[in-house]
Structure 1
Amino acid sequence: MNAPRDLLRQIVVISAVVFMLVAAAVGTGAFGGTPVQDLQGGALDADASLLAPATPAFSIWSVIYILLIAYAIWQALPSQRTRDRQRAIGWLVAITAVLNGLWLVLAQFTTLPLTVAGIVLLLIALCVTFRRAVTEPGRGVLDSLLIDGVTGLHLGWVSLATVANTAAWLTATGPADWAAAGEIVAVAVLAVVAVIGVGIAWASRWRIAPGLALSWGLSWLAVGRLLTEPQSVVVGIAAIVVAVIVIAVPLVGTVIDRAAQVSNAGA
């Protein structure tokens, strides 16, 4: 039952995604605002720090937005209204969409530290949402794509974006002598990203979407460090290594898991 609450959830999800899209339009300068790369004195641009991915990496937002739009439409269907998985996931997806849009508002109108706080909140919300998607298994292609896929891609990309956003803040506000240790710190952070990527893969039973988004962003981070400013061969190579790790681990884990299932079924 709880039909009124279920209908409210569907409306809230649609409203949250609409807010996110409007905020994205403002963030890209479509309504006359300043594009993200020019905000905060250029601190959020692709050349702002050693851990900033090259500009093409951000095209993944288009994929995430399209999938979130598709999810908002799909979950609004009468057949989805009272599903237990939609009840478990819908409110959380709405929160992540609002926080996604809020980050763009913070970047446009507030300060760099507040953007870090905003993206950390988004990351926490995505961790909770993705964990719920793992513990509340779905069925069929649409469940896999529009719940597991979109939340996984969103989580993977925002994990790296949180690193880039924090690095942009520290680079812009830290003392000049921090630059001497920049490469060492960047490589150490990338090592932590590798651990996080492997941890997400293991905790999610080898779901591939988070690693795919992480690997995408890390690959473009490598391109940025090897081909554009600020250049760093060491950081570029480290990013390539981590990109391979975070996508290879869930792929190998999936193969091993499937092989074990086949073996057990034949026993």
Structure 2
Amino acid sequence: MKTEITISELVKLMNVSVHQIRYFEEKGVLEPAYTDNNQYRMYGVKQIYQLAQILLLRKLGVPVHAIKECMTSFSTDQYRQLLHRSLWEVEAELLRLTDLRQFIKKVLHEQHTFSSQPDQYQIKRKDTTYLARWMEMDMTAKLTAKLLAEQPKRIPYLFESDVHHIFDGSDTIALCAETQAPGDISLPAGDYLCMQRLVEEEHELEPMMEEFCDYAVAQSYVITGPLILIEKSYLSLFSENKLHYELQAMISRTPNSEGGSQS
């Protein structure tokens, strides 16, 4: 009675394809126990364990051409180094996936908030926000691809971040990215008047800011800090050819103000 199995049985046992097994054999990392009179490749327990080790090494990122060397000459220390390197790669990938998960949840939340708010003006209670200065540009200058490319500083995944344009009354605009630790600019905690809008052309921003300031005056709000224009370019996924901006400013309220909706 035969104790070996055919390639089709090996495929089912190890949950691989015939193509994979033939590929491993072609590269010289796996051989059948023998070929029977009907030219069927036959595999025993030894080949099953060899295939299991090959599949494990592939999971650890070892290329097929290097597997034979691993299986025939690797020392314990070399295997430990291989496992440590694979562990580091897995942890880096987990971190990448965690960041991606947080970003996806942020995009969904931001889009839902924008699409569901009944009033384009909101008053939000905000905690202290820290910003790292990325670049400065003249008030009259236009943001161009050349200007972006010339910046010595780089923001990883720039357009997946909220880019803060700070208008402080000077002749320059500071472009900043939010940071967890105290940075170049701190926006204090307090009540902020906020307005969100889709913009197709850059020249639409100035009228938007004028409208915002007029609204604050009409509501008897006193703007006590810089105008903050937050570009959320990732939300352009939902609005073709338009960028999403949120305009904010810290406010205080005069005795006659009626207040606004809270968010």
Structure (1 or 2) with the greater helix fraction = 1
Structure 1 or 2, whichever has the larger Rg, is 2
When normalised by structure 1's length, the TM-score is: 0.23
Q: Which has the higher contact order (CA 8 A, sep 6+)?
A: 1
